[in-house]
Amino acid sequence: MNVRRLASLLLAAGTVAALLALAGMLPQASFRAGVSLPEDFFGQRLQGPSEMSLPAGWLDAIWIFWWVAAGISILYAASTPEMRQKLLRMTLLLGLALALGYLIYGRPDTPLETPTPEATETAVTPIPNQEVDVTDLDAPAAAVPVDDVVPPNPLGIVASILILTLLGLAAYRWWRGSTEPPRPWLADLQQRAQVALDELRQGEQLDDAILRCYREMVIIVETQRGVRRKTAVTAREFEAELARSGLPQRAVQRLTRLFELVRYGDYRPTPRDRMEAVDSLEAIVAACSQLVDAAARPREERR
């Protein structure tokens, strides 16, 4: 079991444990007017006996387990090149979740409990030679009006703006991806694969042809599509990027395997390797041709 799967299992176990604990608390829970989230977390804790049926210490243990698992995940993400790229995105999502939680739970628009004024007994000292109206003693005290108007919360406004901005950016990216114009780099990729295929058919050395072809394919995809090949990314990982770009996965896998053999080892290609290279390049050329034709057909129809 690798570290990534172990961290995922720890987070999943902590989430399930927290949900089970919360589910067990709900039948015995009673709600009352609380305080805002920062004051509840960082201020003085509420005093008084707990009304929950959860055994003492379990909730603290769950919180400790959760934060330990989160710390392990953060350390793993910081030490792995692949996950380090996603750490900023995870941090933004966590901040969005905290802001949303504060917006929902930290500032209720209507108080849970509204204090009702009760009748108070007023001690009246009788004054000599003065009559006291008994009806005034039995009358309840005047009710003090309670102002339920909640003032605007700047943090809630900022959180709302942040949430709406992120949702707008996500919608814009989705719309831009759905209306993305045809990819012109497929024609360049088809041309480069066709050149390598012609070289192999004319008797060119397999290792030289494969190295040139693969490197130029990487440059084409890197330049036209914006894929960045970092030093920590292996050829197999970049092969997944090529396959996701629309190329036939099996052909790209075979071409990548041949590239790794001739690039990273003292390997002498066999006639079978040459046949696989020719088949892979033919499949890539055919797939690129179909994609280019399919992308050009809607433009001709619009004309």
| pLDDT tens-digit map of 209-251 | 888 888 888 787 767 655 555 444 566 667 777 777 677 888 8
Domain membership of residue 163 (yes or no) is yes
Is residue 126 over pLDDT 60? Answer: no
44-51 average pLDDT score: 47
Domain membership of residue 142 (yes or no) is no
In a shared domain, residues 104 and 63 = no
State the residue for tokens 């009710």. Answer: 143
In a shared domain, residues 170 and 90 = yes
Q: What values do phi and psi take at 77, rounded to 5?
A: -65, -35
Residue 89 host element (H or E): helix 81-101
Q: Quick one: pLDDT band at residue 26, thresholds 50, 70, 90? A: low
Domain membership of residue 146 (yes or no) is no
In a shared domain, residues 193 and 269 = yes
31-58 average pLDDT score: 52
pTM: 0.42
In a shared domain, residues 157 and 211 = no
**pLDDT, position 185:** 74
Residue of 23 and 123 predicted with greater confidence = 23
**pLDDT, position 45:** 47
**SS3 at position 2:** coil
Domain membership of residue 147 (yes or no) is no
Domain membership of residue 104 (yes or no) is yes
Domain membership of residue 203 (yes or no) is yes
99-126 average pLDDT score: 52
In a shared domain, residues 294 and 216 = yes
**pLDDT, position 240:** 73
7-11 average pLDDT score: 67
**pLDDT, position 31:** 55
**pLDDT, position 87:** 66
Q: What values do phi and psi take at 198, rounded to 5?
A: -65, -40
In a shared domain, residues 248 and 170 = no
In a shared domain, residues 105 and 170 = yes
State the residue for tokens 């969005």. Answer: 96
Q: How confident is the model over 55-109, as pLDDT tens digits? A: 556 667 777 777 777 777 777 666 665 566 566 666 676 666 666 666 555 554 4
Is residue 281 over pLDDT 80? Answer: yes
Max mean pLDDT range (22-26, 136-140, 172-176, 268-272) = 268-272
The residues, ordered by sequence, that sit 6+ positions from 223 with a Cβ below 8 Å of its Cβ are 185
**pLDDT, position 220:** 78
Domain membership of residue 63 (yes or no) is yes
**pLDDT, position 213:** 87
User: What is the C-alpha separation between 169 and 286, in angstroms, rounded?
Assistant: 36
In a shared domain, residues 18 and 89 = no
Whether the Cβ atoms of residue 195 and residue 189 lie closer than 8 Å to each other: no
Final residue in a domain of this structure, among 138, 164, 180: 180
In a shared domain, residues 214 and 229 = yes
Range of the domain at 234: 185-302
Q: Quick one: pLDDT band at residue 302, thresholds 50, 70, 90? A: very low
User: What is the C-alpha separation between 243 and 220, in angstroms, rounded?
Assistant: 14
Say how many domains are in the chain: 3
For the chain, state the CA radius of gyration.
34
Structure tokens at 246: 């629309």
**pLDDT, position 79:** 66
Max mean pLDDT range (58-67, 231-240, 254-263, 274-283) = 274-283
What integer best gives the mean pLDDT of the chain? 67
CATH number of residue 273's parent domain: 1.20.120
Residue of 203 and 55 predicted with greater confidence = 203
In a shared domain, residues 191 and 176 = no
**pLDDT, position 176:** 60
In a shared domain, residues 10 and 94 = no
In a shared domain, residues 66 and 93 = no
Is residue 141 over pLDDT 60? Answer: no
- Give the angle 148-154-156 at the CA atoms, nearest 5°: 80
Q: Quick one: pLDDT band at residue 253, thresholds 50, 70, 90? A: confident
Closest CA to 255 of 290, 293, 221, 223: 221
Is residue 136 over pLDDT 70? Answer: no
**pLDDT, position 27:** 59
**pLDDT, position 44:** 47
Domain membership of residue 18 (yes or no) is yes
